[in-house]
Amino acid sequence: MQNHTSRRPQGRRPYSARSGHSNQGSRPRHAGSDGRQRSFHSRSNHGGRGGTGRGGGRKQPTFNPSQFINKNPVEVTTEVFVAKHTFADFKLHPDIVSVVAHIGIASPSPIQDQVIPLILEGKDVIGIAETGTGKTAAFLLPLIQKTLTEKSQQTLILTPTRELALQVEAEFRKFAAPFKLFSTTCVGGTNIRPQIRALKRHNHLVIGTPGRIIDLMERGDLRMNGFTNVVLDEADRMLDMGFVHDMRKILSKVTGNRQTLFFSATMTAEAEKLVNDFMRSPITISVKKKEVTNSIAQDVIPYEHVHKFDTLLALLSKDEFRRVIIFGAMKHSVEKLARELVKHSVKAESIHGNKSHGQRQRSLAAFKTGHARVLVATDVAARGIHVDNVSHVINYDLPNTFEDYVHRIGRTGRGDKRGQALTFVPK
C-alpha cells in the first residue's frame, strides 16, 4: 500500500448529538456515482404489523434505492495481502506478541502493518480505513508498548458512542492482560460517580465519548494536561454526530507536546480542518477499499403496505439469514418491531436511545453471542457497533441520507467477508 494525500470531499451537515435531531433540511442530498448531487426524500410509507407509520393519511414521498445501489456488483478479486512485518518485527514486548498469537492474529493487517511502526516512532498519523480492518489493534498495540517503555505515558481515546468505547476497552484488556496497566471508560448514559472515583487513580488509558469527557473536564475531575497521546477513533462519525466543538475543546486542553492519532473511514472538509489545527505534520496511511459496497450484494424488497411485516418474516425464515441487523427509523418503532418478531418466534433484540446503557449492552451481548439472531436498531444507536459475521443488513425503513445508507450496509461484508443488504421499498 502507498501513502495517499487526502482528497477534500464535500463536508457533511452536522448532527446535533445533544438534541438527537439532524440539522439537515427536508431534502437531503447525496452524491451519485457520477459525482453529481441528487436530492431525495427520505420518508416512506410504513405499515402492517411492526411497521412504523400510521394507517391512512397522505403518502409521503420516498426515494427508490434501486436508482443508486449496485444490485449486481462486479465480483472483486481481492489481492492477497502479504505483510511486510511480523508482530515480532515491531520490537513489541514478547508478552504482547504472545497475546496476539494466542488471540489468533497470525500477521498484521494492512493498516497494522503500516501504522504500528509510525506510532512507535512518535509520529502523528491519519489512518483511513473501514471498520473490520484491525485499526483498534493498530493503535492499541504500539500505545501499550510505549506505556510499558515509559510509565508516565497517558492516553485519551475518544469514540463516537459508548458501545465503541466499551469495545475499545475490552480490546485493551485483552492485549494488556499480562501487565499492570489501568484504564477507565467514561461514557454518558451511566452513573458518573464510579467514573469520578476511577479517575482518582492513575489511569494509563482513559476511553470516552466527547460529551462525558467534557462533563468531567468542566467538573475538574479529569485533568487534560497529563495526556501524552490522543486517539480520535471513528472521527468521521464523531463529526457526523455534531461533536466537532467538543472535540476541539478537548484537544485544545491537551498539551501541545502530544502524539495525535486520527482514524476515520472518510476524510471530509471538516475533518481536514481539525487535522490541520491540531496535528503536527501527520502521515496519512490509507488502506480504504475503493468502494465500501464492493463486498456487499445489494437489492430492494418491494412490499405492499399491509404485508410489510409478513414480507420480513418470509425473509427471516430462510436459513441463509444467520445473523441479521434490521434498521428502523424511530426508537418506538424499533422496539415495537423487535417485540413483534419475538411474538413470531424470531429471537430478536433491540437497541435504541430509549434503552438504558445496561439494556443496550445486554441486547448487544445477546446478538454477539448468538442468543439473538436479529438485532433491530436505529441509526444513532447502531453507530460504533461492530459485530463479526453479520450475514444480512435489512433497511426496514429507509435511511435519511445516502451516507446513512452506506453506514448501515457497512455492518455486513466487513474485512474480507461478503455480505448482503436488502432495502424495503413500497410497490
In order along its 427 residues, the chain shows pLDDT tens digits of 444 443 333 333 333 333 333 333 333 333 333 333 333 333 333 444 444 433 334 344 345 555 556 554 444 444 567 789 999 999 999 999 999 999 999 899 999 999 999 999 999 999 998 777 889 999 999 999 999 999 889 999 999 988 899 999 999 999 999 999 999 999 998 899 999 999 999 999 999 999 999 999 999 999 998 999 999 999 988 988 889 999 999 999 998 899 999 998 888 888 999 999 999 999 999 986 545 556 788 888 989 888 999 999 999 999 999 999 999 988 999 999 999 999 999 999 999 888 887 888 899 889 989 999 999 999 866 666 778 889 999 999 988 777 778 778 888 877 667 889 999 988 8
Predicted local confidence at residue 250, as pLDDT:
96
Same domain, 64 and 94: no
Predicted local confidence at residue 18, as pLDDT:
38
419-426 β-sheet, strand order: 296-303, 419-426, 392-395, 324-327, 374-377, 348-351
Which domain range does residue 192 map to? 88-286
**Burial of residue 107 (number of CB atoms within 10 Å: 0-12, 13-18, 19+):** middle
- Is residue 234 in some structural domain? yes
Same domain, 102 and 43: no
Determine the distance from the C-alpha atom of residue 12 to the mean position of all C-alpha atoms in its chain, rounded to a whole number: 17
Same domain, 226 and 328: no
- Is residue 10 in some structural domain? no
Same domain, 299 and 279: no
Q: Which helix (H) or strand (E) holds 232?
A: strand 229-232
Predicted local confidence at residue 61, as pLDDT:
36
Do residues 392 and 423 make contact, with C-beta atoms less than 8 angstroms apart?
Answer: no
Do residues 32 and 38 make contact, with C-beta atoms less than 8 angstroms apart?
Answer: yes
Distances (CA, A) of 386 to 20, 167, 234, 337: 22, 9, 12, 22
Same domain, 96 and 244: yes
Query: Up-side HSE of residue 1: CA atoms within 13 Å toward CB?
Result: 26
279: left (phi over 0), alpha (psi -120 to 50) or beta: beta
The owner of cell 465500501 is 292
**Whole-number Å distance between alpha carbons of 138 and 264:** 13
- Collapsing DSSP to helix, strand or coil, 188 comes out as coil
Same domain, 41 and 116: no
Alpha-carbon dihedral 226, 228, 234, 237, rounded to 10 degrees: 40
Q: Residue 359: CB partners within 8 Å, gap ≥ 6?
A: none
Distances (CA, A) of 44 to 48, 170, 338, 352: 13, 39, 19, 20
Same domain, 140 and 252: yes
The owner of cell 508498548 is 145
Closest CA to 24 of 36, 14, 37, 38: 14
Q: Name the domain boundary from 271, 286, 301.
A: 286
Same domain, 282 and 342: no
**Whole-number Å distance between alpha carbons of 126 and 270:** 14
Q: Which helix (H) or strand (E) holds 16?
A: strand 15-16
- Collapsing DSSP to helix, strand or coil, 41 comes out as coil
Predicted local confidence at residue 408, as pLDDT:
84
- Is residue 390 in some structural domain? yes
Predicted local confidence at residue 242, as pLDDT:
87
Predicted local confidence at residue 383, as pLDDT:
64
* All three cell numbers of 262: 486520527
Q: Name the domain boundary from 269, 286, 303.
A: 286
| Torsion angles phi and psi, residue 284, rounded to 5 | -95, 125
pTM, to two decimals? 0.65
- DSSP conformational letter for 90: G
Distances (CA, A) of 268 to 164, 242, 265: 21, 14, 10
Amino acid at 424: F
- Is residue 406 in some structural domain? yes
Predicted local confidence at residue 268, as pLDDT:
83
